[in-house]
């Protein structure tokens, strides 16, 4: 016991003497930045981020929108926007990605989100020495989503370009709000899932996106994804029924199918043909959401965005006049039914 103990002490002393006699090697300074992510974690990020792995489709889309697609080392099986995302190495599904696949890609930074990724994934990667920045995917507002994009741009060394991208999207939203501010909000049933029928609650970013498009959900619920019956839809009588998918001819297909169903075919929105199909971007907190908002605004307010209306607005502005307002409620003044 003593000999072993002495041997350990002797080895330590000899090591110290050897170290003091040898030339000293200066440790390289740690150039990593320490940032706090959206869930309060402190994350050490390299000064230059060259390789990125994303763990959710909206994060992949954000990386491309910031012009950083060449730095994307890998993404998930579900990442399909833009099309280039499909050709990247995949690390599995967002809720249970392969840690081995992520490590093998040697990322400087992994982007995760609270809306779909598990805390355990970030914990494991952190233990493996990989920087994981988790964004708040449960944001309740479109502007909150834009702020998150700006922060991620800073992390990846694209702060200035990110600020420009965010500002452009803000300007588009402001322009849309100016066009719709005096228009009554259109009441819509936003269909998240058909069987069972699931829609959106008031505190989701989708509900806020509807408001920017000059619409609001007919369902008032504090649940994020409330389920309702067709009888409840009949009672509410939405002005429009909104599906997502964004495929050519999808709206006409949905309308034809609804007109073949008992009860559904008697809804006012179905009788009048007020069934629209917007891009799947409407359900993603990513840059494409602004495109979806604009698309929905055009669908539910055709009187505002018709070619004749746009020409009249341009002529009014050219003559130094403001477009004639209409009475009613706008995005910031909810309508009473």
- pLDDT tens figures, 70-95: 999 999 999 999 999 999 999 999 99
Q: Is 161 helix (H, G, I), strand (E, B) or coil?
A: helix
For domain 33-166, give the fold: Rossmann fold (3.40.50)
Q: Which residues pair with 110 in a beta bridge?
A: 53, 132
249 band by pLDDT with thresholds 50, 70 and 90: confident
Span between the terminal Cα atoms of the chain, in Å:
86
pLDDT at residue 24 above 90? no
334 band by pLDDT with thresholds 50, 70 and 90: very low
Note the maximum CA span of the chain.
100
Distance CA 168, CA 66 (A): 12
Domains 33-166 and 183-318 share a fold: yes
- Residue 118 DSSP class: -
Alpha helices in the chain (DSSP H): 2-21, 57-65, 99-104, 119-127, 142-155, 159-180, 205-212, 230-236, 250-258, 268-271, 288-300, 302-305, 307-318
Tens of pLDDT along 170-213?
A: 999 999 999 999 999 999 999 999 889 999 999 999 999 999 99
Distance CA 337, CA 333 (A): 13
Residue with tokens 């706008």: 330
Count, residues in the chain: 337
Percentage above 70 pLDDT, the chain: 81
Phi, psi of 49 (to 5 degrees): -95, 110
Looking at domain 183-318, its CATH architecture is 3-Layer(aba) Sandwich (3.40)
Signed CA dihedral, 257, 262, 264, 269: sign only: positive
What angle, 0 to 180 degrees and rounded to 10, lies between the N-to-C axes of helices 205-212 and 288-300?
A: 50
pLDDT given at position 245 = 81
pLDDT at residue 29 above 50? yes
Q: Which residues pair with 43 in a beta bridge?
A: 35
pLDDT at residue 14 above 80? no
Q: Which residue, 214, 187, 210, 194, is CA-closest to 254?
A: 194
Phi, psi of 80 (to 5 degrees): -135, 5
pLDDT given at position 138 = 81
Domain ranges within the chain, ordered by starting residue: 33-166, 183-318
Between 154 and 8, residue with greater pLDDT: 154
Distance CA 310, CA 325 (A): 14
Distance CA 187, CA 210 (A): 9
Residue with tokens 């840690």: 99
């Amino acid at each position: 016991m003593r000999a072993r103990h002495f041997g350990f002490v002797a080895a330590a002393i000899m090591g110290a003497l050897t170290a003091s006699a040898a030339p000293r090697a200066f440790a390289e300074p740690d150039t990593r930045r320490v940032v706090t992510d959206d869930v309060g974690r402190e994350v050490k990020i390299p000064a230059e981020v060259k390789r990125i792995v994303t763990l959710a489709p909206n994060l992949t889309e954000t990386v491309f929108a910031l012009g950083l697609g060449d730095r994307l080392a890998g993404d998930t099986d579900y990442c399909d926007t833009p099309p280039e995302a499909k050709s990247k190495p995949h690390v599995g599904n967002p809720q249970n990605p392969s840690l081995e696949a992520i490590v093998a890609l040697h990322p400087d930074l992994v982007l995760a989100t609270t809306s779909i990724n598990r805390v355990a994934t970030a914990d494991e990667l952190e233990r493996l020495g990989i920087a994981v920045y988790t964004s708040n995917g449960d944001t309740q507002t479109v502007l909150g989503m834009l702020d998150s994009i700006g922060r991620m741009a800073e992390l990846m060394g694209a702060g200035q370009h990110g600020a420009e991208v965010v500002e452009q999207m803000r300007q588009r939203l402001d322009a849309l709000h100016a066009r719709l501010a005096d228009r009554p909000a259109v009441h819509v049933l936003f269909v998240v899932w058909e069987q069972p029928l699931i829609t959106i609650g008031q505190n989701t970013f989708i509900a806020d996106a509807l408001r920017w498009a000059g619409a609001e959900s007919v369902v008032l619920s504090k649940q994020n994804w409330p389920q309702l019956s067709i009888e409840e839809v009949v009672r509410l009588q939405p002005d429009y029924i909104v599906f997502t998918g964004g495929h050519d001819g999808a709206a006409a297909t949905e309308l034809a199918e609804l007109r073949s169903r008992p009860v559904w075919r008697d809804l006012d929105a179905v009788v009048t043909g007020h069934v629209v199909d917007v891009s799947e971007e409407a359900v993603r907190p990513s840059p494409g959401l602004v495109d979806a908002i604009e698309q929905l605004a055009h669908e539910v307010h055709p009187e505002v965005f018709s070619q004749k209306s746009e020409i009249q607005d341009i002529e009014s502005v050219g003559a130094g006049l403001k477009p004639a307002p209409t009475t009613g409620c706008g995005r910031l003044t909810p309508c009473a039914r």
